[in-house]
Amino acid sequence: MRYKTFPKGIHPPGNKGKTASLSIEVLPPPKQVVLPLSQHIGAPSQPLVSAGEEVVPGQKIAEAKGKVSVPLHASIGGKVAAVEKRPHPGGKMVPAIVIENNDGREFSPINTPSHDLNELTGEKIRESMQEAGLVGMGGAAFPTHVKYYPPAGKEIEYVILNGAECEPFLTSDHRLMLERPADVLYGLKAMMKAAGARKGYIAVEENKPDALAALSEQAGGDPTVEVVPLRVKYPQGEEKMLIYALTGRVVPAGGLPVATGTVVNNVATAAALAVFLQTGKPLISRIITVTGDGIKRPKNLEVPLGTLLEEIISFCGGLKDNAGRIVLGGPMTGPAHYRLDLPVLKKTSGILLQTRAEIEDGDYKACIRCGKCVDACAYSLLPNFLGLYAENGRLEEAKKYGIMDCRECGSCTYVCPSRRPLVQLIKNAKNKIAAAERKTG
């Protein structure tokens, strides 16, 4: 069989063996959760509660502010201890709602029927996406409902679910597809109805044959749904790569997937939509992978949003003596952190604990013009020039060469023999460009 894929890309070691065969465990409700109001792209949600109020699991505690925003819900029951600034994985202190667990109750919907999709309109599903607080759970954290309101004159033909999970070490999506395929399929069908799409795809890399089999069995020969095996390659899970692999269509530079008649969501987002439509439970928990040589007992865990890293690590047996770095997400795109009082967000896919031996020391060297980064870039950019322009503050030239089209996948940095931090240089330049445009616009 010839598996679908995209040009270029890289093949980093998967390192998924520690957790790929481990079933999802459910973390007991923690003593405290910290729920930042900034958990998605767009306007932060606005608090509806104050310190001292009692809340129940699933209660809306912050409302969406505008169209590109979603509400926030209590992930545990208890008392609001504070609404104050707390450390955020983004690196800043941001407003957050702190809830102290004083009852241990789990979410229990009252008189919420199981919804038959035939009874729901596309508009109702789109409204439900926002009501549930859904965002892209693969890492982008873009409010899901916004994707289902295409610009005038644009139609969505295909809904693609990303089950590639091409980031090394992470296996949370793999276990979700294997253990809860019915939720994934239900969520896909709901998304197709919301989009008015005629076809749905679930894209899974070939190194997950059990998940491919489970989803194919669940689909049951439905002609509107296709489970597609993909070649194992990074960054196979990026939107543009998936769209090209499955449809042969190319998202134009600076454009969005809707320009090709497609919309892409993560399998976890689809499953969360299914749970909300069937039970009324909003997005208050998610599955993460806790792994690496620096943790004693790697696991796939379903955890309440806002749970602090220290509590999760303790549940996994604690850190090994040689632990040296915490990465939230996978090693290609996840940011490194030094503190354990950070909360799990809607977009947190994993916690990777690396050892000190895995952390490279030393300064990077000058570009040797080898072109390996150019060969690796799936977006057909010139990372060597973009890195040099960024390093020397030549932002206008960086814009001319398409720096804003970089998705910061990390492939260029991975292959660079001079160990140049190309992603960091490019990211810093993009932030400066965006700041300057906001100031002048």
The structural domains of the chain, with segments of one domain joined by +, span: 1-27+115-359, 372-440
Nearest to 297 by CA among 275, 320, 278, 274: 320
Tell whether the model's pLDDT for residue 189 goes beyond 80. Answer: yes
Which token pair is 199? Answer: 């076809």
* CA–CA separation, 5 and 302 (whole Å): 30
Q: Average of pLDDT values for 284-288?
A: 98
For residue 54, CA distances in Å to 81, 118, 282, 345, 376 come to 9, 37, 18, 22, 52
**Per mean pLDDT, which range of 8-22, 36-50, 273-287, 354-368 is the poorest?**
354-368
Q: At residue 107, does pLDDT exceed 70?
A: no
What percent of the chain has pLDDT above 90? Answer: 87
pTM of the predicted protein model: 0.95
- At residue 111, the pLDDT reads 46
- Whether 217 and 229 have beta carbons less than 8 Å apart is answered as no
Q: Give residue 439's pLDDT.
A: 83
One of 3.40.50.11540, 3.30.70.20, 3.30.565.10, 1.20.1260.10 is the CATH number of 1-27+115-359, namely 3.40.50.11540
396-407 pLDDT, tens digit per residue, is: 999 999 999 999
Which pLDDT tens digit goes with each residue over 367-376? 999 999 999 9
89 close to 345: Cβ distance less than 8 angstroms:
yes
pLDDT per residue over 291-350, tens digit each?
A: 999 999 999 999 999 999 999 999 999 999 999 999 999 999 999 998 999 999 999 999
Is the pLDDT at 1 greater than 60, yes or no? no
Distances (CA, A) of 103 to 81, 83, 107: 14, 20, 12
